[in-house]
Structure 1
Amino acid sequence: MHDVAREAGVSQATVSLVLNDVSGSRFSDATKDRVHKAVEILGYRTNAHAKVLREGVAGMIGFIGDSVATSPFAGKIIEGAQERAWESGLLLIAVSTGGDKELERASLETLLSYKVAGVVYASMYHQMVDVPKVLREVPTVVLNSEDQAGYFPSIAPDEVSGGFEATQYLLKAGHRRIGLINIESLESGLPGAVGRYKGYVRALEGAGVSVDPALVRFGQGSEPYGFKYVVELMQEPEPPTAIFCANDRTAWGAYQALLELGKRVPEDVSIIGFDNQETLAPHLRPGLTTLELPFEQMGRRAVDLILEGIKPQGQVELMACSLIERNSVEKIKESQ
């Protein structure tokens, strides 16, 4: 810093105030330019370790997740968190553990040893998670999941409103026999499965349509279950004219089953999905109308909460899922 001050023709204190952008300090643009030019010429770099010793916290936020970093569509969570951190002059350090608890423990110890400003504890899909107690030492937000213990603040998709909007979209298109292929059983307690089912029921009952158990199936969120259960549904005495698939992979299986049965999407059966998986939904023929999980917005919001210094009171903030319209839903004909 002495070298930078000598090169710029200013005091060391001026260099420190300019580089740290201290509020209340007033320097001319010419002075700031001289300092920054000297930094560039000399290749000066702030000593991060010294800064941690001085301020007690690093200019970093830790991000740790099971498979979020390697998921083709949930990676937007990291993008959102990273952009928000960078806007505040912070660096996001991301670690993907692959669900390995020993790797998670070691990673958390390393992040905490770096005195990170906070930690985002993320999951690839919405579930109840046991958050390591060591994270109580630092501001922590649970992302795309909920803290089982109800201690940390959590951010997750609003599954109920998403299921409601998907079903209501089909109702507005005139459909009354609407099937549902869920991603898990209700007994599993999986928030996505339970919430999307609740939204489905709420929309039907709000429209005066009774829930027909014969039109509801519980799969495991993969293509084979979409295929299997659409074949079953279409063999019902009164088959559905529309099907709400509780994720896009299930919808993919539904498309294949209808093709094999000689049925067309959406002319014979309308399909709506959930997730807006970019590697899948836009590329189905026709393109899949679906609900988009708000990954990027959730990532940004998690960092916001850390920057705001939110207190750990176990609050859960739910974020709306947006409807993405493509061509897999058609208004029902009067004869149907």
Structure 2
Amino acid sequence: MSTILMTGASRGLGRHAAEHLLRHHPDRHLLVLNRAPGLAAELAARTGNRNVSEITCDLASFADIRRAAAEVDRPLTGFVGNAGLQVQSTRARTADGVEMTFGVNVLAYHLLLNLLLPRFTAPARILVVGSDVHDPRTNSLGLVPPPRWTDPRELARPREGTARDGRRAYATSKLGVLYLVHALARRLPAGVDAYTYNPGLVPGTSLARDAGPVGRAVFQAVGRVLSATPAATRPAEAGRLLAEAAAGPRPGDSGSYVSKGRVVPSSAESYDERREEELWAVADELCGLAEARRRAG
């Protein structure tokens, strides 16, 4: 039985995606990484499919990521990196002293995927969830400012900032996801594909859970308005599309940007091989992978 490993399966569109996989792809085993134990039992009870297991993992800790990756003891044919966060500042830091949004949304996946690479057996598919807020053309009603890319070492450094700076850091991290996926796709063996997946505008997610009462109220109000527009995707539908991108027909060429089930171009800024390779090298250093690569090479 082939195995798909998934992060961010406890709530929102990720929960819908996990349940869809268990209900509609019973030939797959689902391995979930979650901060607290008990999710696998919940999913099994909810879907009636017991082909689900779990490993606890805090993506805000490199040590915990390494420990969790070492516990993966089966071949993988799929990966869905859905867990992500939006912090209402740029001061919060991970256990390793990295700015929280960049650390979890970008560096955690760089480390986790590199540690898991020997486990992937072709044909295999890797999806990391991005967002259309990486594109300055996206209309987010001004709530999420466009990304502002700079030296990745600076993006990884906690710094003083406002709630708006925190939201910009989120958009910038999603641009970073595209850069890492492009760099990863160039390095994967034949038969192992990597994609950035954009679920679109999904009102009702918990991205604003770290905002204050006023901020949460604003996001909820805007979400209610946007839910009535054709631009919005309901969490259940977004989860279904994510699950089918992971386990259904091959979406397209490796490295593609899959938006709501269709391959489309991402922003012009997201295609920059120099930035992609610089981010890959800096991520190696920050995640402690550079020395291992030097020894292996």
User: Structure 2 length normalisation: TM-score?
Assistant: 0.40
Please identify the structure whose Cα radius of gyration is greater: 1
